[in-house]
Amino acid sequence: MSREKQIINERKRKITELRELRVEPYPHKFDKKQNVVECLKKLGSSVKTAGRLMTKRELGRISFASLQDFSGGMQIVLQEGGTSTKVRKFFKKYVDTGDFVGISGKVIKTKTGEVSILVKKLELLSKAIKPLPEKFHGLKDKEERYRKRYLDLIMNSEVRKIFETRAIILEVMREFMKKKKFVEVETPLLQTIYGGALAKPFKTHCDAYNSDVYLSIAPELFLKKAQVGGFENVYEITKKFRNEGVDRQHNPEHMTIEWYQAYADYNDGMDLFEELIKTIAKKLFGKLIFKYQGHKINLAKWRRVPILKAIKENLNEDISRVKSDAEAKKIAKKHGIEPTGITKTILADELMKLFRHKLIQPTFLIDYPIELAPLAKPNKKDPTKAEVFQPFVGGMELGRAYSELNDPGLQAKHFKEQEEERKKGNVEAMGTDKNFVAALEHGMPPACGVGVGIERVIMLFTNQPSIRDVIMFPFMKPEK
């Protein structure tokens, strides 16, 4: 029998014995008065707190243990003369590391000067059957850490910090949008026609209507309908689902903040995005300079570079003269891209993926070929380009934005072009949404729409290399 199995059997025996003694190992509640960090500040005072026991050691007539809750950890002490014999015996016989306990006692300093709680009363709140992994040996495998994130959170304070920071970033985003007088709305996650982005959707079936439906790949079309309805500045923080590849920057299910600003264009959108990112940095660091994966990032300066110019700079390739899909395939093959499925429409986007990791300092790639942006307005100076921007920091694409197309005739034409792309094998091309075109026919104000990948922003500000590191419970391949 393995050591872990022995521990499990012993703890199950303790549960049985406790119940025979009419002690419930899983009581309903506990009146916790202070968290651990608050207790540390109450030297000489009586406190009542609760948390998980992380360590336990017996030294004759004195017992030491570390108690951890969400706020932090501290030592608790049970000793002769300060703790009753009954409590000390119960603790020694029935309480193990991993258990949740509630305690009452006085905050003292031990002989070594450590602030601790001298326990007067102790109540078992939840008996852990399985032991905790060892700090440095039991939870090293990344895959296991993702699958058993609850253990990762227990054992690694730095992991907990990531998700505390995530919560702060979401809070800053909402405060920022409120300050800018945006209204938060909700849009459907189940949609009969997917749209708002170039992506492959997840498909399911609605029995009540006997119809196929799709999980949202973007909230864009619904947010624009809200603008048609009179909500000038709207935003949504929501989940998106894309049935595509999984890598360090992509997860099938992810969070986004998407906003639509009436009477604005993509220049205004770049200004607002830059201000948001700077606001987050100031909240977290108090400054605009920080490190990401060994690179010193300075958010004070942002470049704005047309994508065809960036391709020329990084790949020495002028694709402005590409006239056919055959030429596009030839260029793709030259740069090591599988040519199957490559068209002149998507060539720029595919080539950009070859050098985006080099865009370390804040950069906006702008003015994409119009075919790549069926929901965007043509550039005022060059109608073959769309008023599009994508922000990059730390080698990561953080979002995508447009001067939004609000011409219903041109929108219908672009949808038709997307249908032709689908016939060529482009599974990410959009279908025609006639209902959206009908909404535009009632009039939508000029606007800029911006979609931002929240997990990538969190990766940037927590210095994490993988999107899985900032999703508490990332989607995983089923275990065999």
pLDDT for the residue 136: 44
Residue 93 neighbours by CB under 8 Å, 6+ apart: 14
Q: Is residue 326 part of a domain?
A: no
Q: Which residue has the tokens 């935003």?
A: 235
Residue pair 87/78 in contact by the 8 Å Cβ criterion? yes
Q: How far is Cα 100 from Cα 125, in angstroms, rounded to an integer?
A: 5
Q: Is residue 352 part of a domain?
A: no
327 occurs within a structural domain: no
Q: What tens-digit pLDDT sequence spans the chain (480 residues)?
A: 788 999 999 999 999 999 999 999 999 999 999 999 999 999 999 999 999 999 999 998 899 999 999 999 999 999 999 999 999 999 999 999 999 999 999 999 999 999 999 999 999 999 999 999 875 455 667 888 899 999 999 999 999 999 999 999 999 999 999 999 999 999 999 998 887 777 889 999 999 999 999 999 999 999 999 999 999 999 999 999 999 888 888 899 999 999 999 999 999 999 999 999 999 999 999 999 999 999 999 999 999 999 999 999 999 999 988 889 999 999 999 999 999 889 888 999 999 999 999 999 999 999 999 888 888 899 999 999 999 999 999 999 999 999 999 999 989 988 888 888 777 777 667 778 899 999 999 999 999 999 999 999 999 999 999 999 999 999 888 887
Domain co-membership, 119 together with 196: no
Please check whether residues 255 and 187 belong to one and the same domain: yes
Are 173 and 116 found together in one domain? no
Examine residue 315 and state whether it is found in any structural domain, yes or no: no
pLDDT at 143: 86
Domain with residue 270: its CATH number is 3.30.930.10
Residues 159 and 110 grouped into a single domain: no
In a domain, 458, yes or no: yes
Domain final residue pick, 108, 126, 144: 126
Phi, psi torsion values for 332, nearest 5 degrees:
-60, -45
Distances (CA, A) of 261 to 8, 182, 229, 308: 58, 8, 14, 27
Q: Same domain, yes or no, for 296 and 441?
A: yes
Q: Are residues 282 and 374 in the same domain?
A: yes
Together in a domain, 195 and 114: no
The count of domains in the chain is: 2
76/213 same-domain check:
no
Instruction: Verify that 8 and 57 share a domain, yes or no.
Output: yes
Tokens of 76: 């608790």
294 within domain boundaries: yes
φ, ψ dihedrals at 261, nearest 5°: -110, 110
| CATH number, domain with residue 66 | 2.40.50.140
Nearest residue to 233 (alpha-carbon basis) of 456, 2, 88, 450? 450
Inside any domain, residue 321 = no
Q: Tell me if 467 sits within 8 A of 248, measured CB to CB.
A: yes
pLDDT at 414: 85
Considering the domain architecture, whether residues 407 and 258 belong to the same structural domain is answered as: yes
Where does a domain end: 126, 141, 169?
Answer: 126
What pLDDT score does 135 carry? 56
* Domain shared by 162 and 99, yes or no: no
pTM of the entire predicted model: 0.91
Shared-domain flag, residues 118 and 198: no
Question: Tell me, what's the pLDDT at 423?
Answer: 77
| SS3 of residue 10 by DSSP | helix
Q: Using alpha carbons, select from 306, 346, 466 the residue that is nearest to residue 396.
A: 466
**Full domain range(s) for residue 208:** 155-302+362-469
Q: What whole-number distance in Å separates Cα of residue 218 and Cα of residue 234?
A: 14
